[in-house]
Amino acid sequence: MKTIDVVRSKVILDPDRTHVLARPFRLMSDKRSIKITARVMALPEEDVHALLEGVRIEFGGRQVKIDDFLMRRYNEVSPCLLNGQVLSEERKLLLGGYFTHEYSFEAAALFNPSMVPHPDQSNVPEGSLRFVLSLRATAEGHVSSIAFRSGTVDISGAITMDVPSRYSLEPEQVPNSVYQKPLFTRKLMELRLLGDFNKAVLDGLPEAFTLDELRERLVRIQNELPVLEQETAKTTARETVMLAQSNYQVAFRPESRLSERVLFPITPSQSNGIEDARFVLFTKEDGVKTYFATYTAYDGKMILPQMLQTCDFLKFHFSTLNGPAVENKGMALFPRKIKGQYAMLGRQDAENIYVMFSDHIHFWDSMQLILEPVYPWEFIQLGNCGSPIETEAGWLVISHGVGPMRKYCIGAFLLDRDDPTKVIGRLREPLIKPNAQERDGYVPNVVYSCGSLVHGGLLILPYGISDYATTFATMPLEQVLAAME
């Protein structure tokens, strides 16, 4: 194989356990929650004031607008714990504090990066590019979330990272998210939930409806059924609500910094993690650009490929992917339609690489095998390391292969621009193998990426180091393409 001049960056992003989120603290039982509430309610007002001031002093420097979060927590728990009792503002905040805890969301690892151009390129030095780096942050309970960093890469490939904020925060869920009936109906059909019960539910809903309207209609139709049919309807209703909850929108405060924003699992399907987001800057047929990311939702038992969309990294729309072709991990969307269809890579059998096409970005019905393991360093499995990159020579796909001792290496292959079912080039040897400094981590002997970009004739490749930290490598694109066989 022809020589490729790979330059490893000295920039390393290590997990930082001081980055903490204020999160809801949910107790094991309602009975305990009621007991704790009763104890707080019994405190004299002067004790409430002193305790709250202590919370503010101890945690105010670690959280943005801590009073706002404490009040949100109070508003969430109070309907279940209080019977219309009148409380002072300070007692409300203190009570919210007893149902809040800090979570160090990247204490264990910060890895598997995806890199895309930043939506704001103002005041960038000539020849440089500002980028957004998404990262998989993992902590207590092996729960994964999406964290963000930003930086610039200059014409020579030098990486400069922006200093991250001290603070971290979650977005707020957009209230009354609207669901379009035709799309929701199709998703129900794909999940085999469109029986007589849900047909009756949908018949009474407007063309655009909210989650509250859906819940109200589900209860009404369920109550109209004979008693013997209500238990089955209850199960269907629960699964229907879960589908709706998995298709939602969130928004961060406009004044927040990118590095403060954390997408933490909040739906049942994500309960154990949002894993390995593969971001891509997608160009629509009318020229409008938006960001999509495919990711793996994990609930502790099942993995489900899902998708999010944003145009500004402030507002995010999460949606489910449906159809028999979206199975297993590692879905990666092409950055534009090909011959009028969306295109996506996948690894449906946990071993080989497939390509699929669809007329709707949420639904994927068929797939075609395009690449199988050939070389010893990839005998166990192949997979993509992010969305394909369009070049004059073809679609460049950064890949990973797994070999003996479960060692992960990063490689690459090339697809035809007009027909990505055709593999027109492939590297015989890896681009990057774990070196002596990269072998040890949360999961040893792994290098892995979720998305690269090309700038100034260089392939800029961020990658995770043994599922622990993140670094970068750069190499001339011409050399990568010339080494293809």
- 371, 291: one domain: yes
Residue 193, in any domain of the structure: yes
| CB-based contact 41:85 (threshold 8 Å) | yes
Instruction: Please report the pLDDT score of residue 269 as a whole number.
Output: 83
Residue corresponding to tokens 């028999």? 324
**Residue 80 structural domain:** 21-103
Q: What is the CA radius of gyration of the chain?
A: 24
- 129, 183: one domain: no
- 75, 214: one domain: no
Q: How far apart are CA 241 and CA 410, in angstroms?
A: 40
Instruction: Please report the pLDDT score of residue 227 as a whole number.
Output: 87
| CB-based contact 70:93 (threshold 8 Å) | yes
- 59, 110: one domain: no
| Residue 88: C-alpha distances to residues 70, 74, 91, 444 (Å) | 14, 12, 5, 53
- 50, 145: one domain: no
- 305, 217: one domain: no
Residues 6 or more apart in contact with residue 77 via CB below 8 angstroms: 33, 37, 95, 96, 99
Surface-to-core class of residue 19, CB atoms within 10 Å of its CB (0-12 exposed, 13-18 middle, 19+ buried): buried
Residue 471: CA count within 13 A, CB half-sphere: 18
Tell which of 103, 119, 141 closes a domain: 103
| CB-based contact 263:145 (threshold 8 Å) | yes
Residue 98, in any domain of the structure: yes
Alpha carbon of residue 98 to chain centroid: 29
Residue 465, in any domain of the structure: yes
Instruction: Please report the pLDDT score of residue 267 as a whole number.
Output: 85
Instruction: Please report the pLDDT score of residue 28 as a whole number.
Output: 65
Residue 268, in any domain of the structure: yes
- 380, 433: one domain: yes
Give the pTM.
Answer: 0.94
Amino acid sitting at position 20: V
Q: What is the CATH number of the domain that holds 449?
A: 2.115.10.20
- The tally of domains found in the chain comes to 3
Tell which of 245, 271, 301 closes a domain: 245
- 371, 469: one domain: yes
Instruction: Please report the pLDDT score of residue 258 as a whole number.
Output: 98
Residue 1, in any domain of the structure: no
| CB-based contact 149:259 (threshold 8 Å) | yes
Among positive and negative, which fits the CA dihedral 228, 232, 235, 237? negative
CB atoms within 10 A of CB 156: 11
- 293, 369: one domain: yes
Helical pair 181-190 and 227-245, crossing angle rounded to 10 deg? 110
The three-class DSSP label of residue 58 is helix
Q: Which letter, b or e, does each residue of 409-422 get, where b requires 16 or more Cβ atoms within 10 Å of its Cβ? A: bbbbbbbebeebee
Residue 219, in any domain of the structure: yes
Tell which of 224, 245, 266 closes a domain: 245
CB atoms within 10 A of CB 401: 22
- 320, 335: one domain: yes
Share in percent of the chain as helix, strand, coil (round to 5): 25, 35, 40
Residue 2, in any domain of the structure: no
Report the chain (485 residues): mean pLDDT per 10 consecutive residues.
Answer: 95 97 85 89 96 97 94 87 84 96 97 98 97 97 96 97 96 85 94 94 95 95 91 93 91 96 91 93 96 91 88 96 88 97 96 97 96 98 98 98 98 98 98 97 97 98 98 98 96
**Backbone φ/ψ region at 311: left (φ over 0), alpha (ψ -120 to 50), beta:** alpha
Instruction: Please report the pLDDT score of residue 175 as a whole number.
Output: 74
In the beta sheet, which residues pair with residue 279?
A: 293
- 255, 203: one domain: no
Residue 183, in any domain of the structure: yes
Instruction: Please report the pLDDT score of residue 470 as a whole number.
Output: 98
- 450, 373: one domain: yes
Q: How far apart are CA 461 and CA 459, in angstroms?
A: 6
Among positive and negative, which fits the CA dihedral 167, 267, 363, 202? negative
